[in-house]
Structure 1
């Protein structure tokens, strides 16, 4: 497919709009995001934008459902669902986040958490879309912990659903705190402590503390 054909491809156009909208929202927040900047970034017309998205809200919801949700599945859910040793897989993902932390991520925070804080109190449609992403992530993490418990990797008394909620809340809190502090070491320290907490769920930890 040549460049002209790609430019005219409706799905390609839609994906370019979503990528540009995600960048704009991540940088500025949804309410301050500018459709004009998104169009300037893509070189597309207003007609192309409104052919795919009737409103700015529809574009924002699509960013949540198709860009942010896809990232959460790719980075967290899919690796955990494939893992034969779930606790080790989860610990490895936390370690990967710690090692791959970049100044840009600290400067801007987490795209999902940013929108949760901005839009949940003021837009029910947005809140529901964000809740769906969180619920899918929480369910996958809960299943991961339950598999780890069934394999004897974590203590039998661990409440897997509450632990999953706590881990996600902690990660999002790490992102939000370091965004305010603009301190990558604060993020790394927070994530390192979360990794230590995860290790304390293991059956070996109970033996060490006895």
Structure 2
């Protein structure tokens, strides 16, 4: 990796952390410059604007990180149990900072979807990709599932419930509430089986 590529990657990493901690609008380019120990010119060499940097963080950091997390539980022989194991482990492993700060991707979606069309379209694309992962996993075991399930709706329901639980946890700073909602979600997911 060249020095320019390393600098660009460092900017993305730092910007992703700043956006997670403070939100996109409150993220300061000056703080990113200081943390990366680069000049404004070096930043603008890689990203022509804060919005372009935000798009890159969403596409290159948050989306792949988020989708990759879902591949393992959906790729097992029984994705219903894989999903429940994944979700329940999330409740156990959630740190205090995650309870307070929330999911970086969910935060950015809530903040920017209604503000910027570029973000809205990127969020929609990511949501469609995740939904397709869930649909494909459920389709592989369709013979074991109840009849007349609309897998696309099931996928969106699972993700919407998780996002809602994350938002509840963040606003209430209550990890127990998150755990309770996820336990109910797992009851729903397991009830998909015949």
Q: TM-score, normalised by structure 1?
A: 0.87
Q: What are structure 2's unaligned runs of at least 5 residues?
A: none
8 Å CA contact 1:85, 1:148 repeated in 2: yes
Aligned residue in 1 for 2:154? 163
Measure, in 1, the Cα distance between the counterparts of 2:102 and 2:119. Answer: 19
Number of aligned residue pairs: 194
Q: TM-score, normalised by structure 2?
A: 0.94
- 2:98 corresponds to which of 98, 105, 128: 105
8 Å CA contact 2:74, 2:82 repeated in 1: no
Alignment RMSD, CA only? 1.5
Residues 50-70 of structure 1 show CA distances to partners (whole Å, capped at 9, x for unaligned) of 111011000000010011111
Structure 2 residue 189 is the aligned partner of structure 1 residue 198: yes
Aligned residue in 2 for 1:38? 32
Residues 122-150 of structure 1 show CA distances to partners (whole Å, capped at 9, x for unaligned) of 10011111111111111111111222213
Structure 2 residue 133 is the aligned partner of structure 1 residue 146: no
8 Å CA contact 2:74, 2:83 repeated in 1: no
- 2:49 corresponds to which of 42, 49, 55: 55
Measure, in 1, the Cα distance between the counterparts of 2:140 and 2:91. Answer: 24
Deviates more, 1:140-149 or 1:46-55: 140-149
Structure 2 residue 92 is the aligned partner of structure 1 residue 88: no
8 Å CA contact 2:75, 2:137 repeated in 1: no
8 Å CA contact 2:81, 2:190 repeated in 1: no
Shift of 1:81: 5.3
Q: How does 1:4-19 map to 2 (within 5 A)?
A: 9-19=3-13
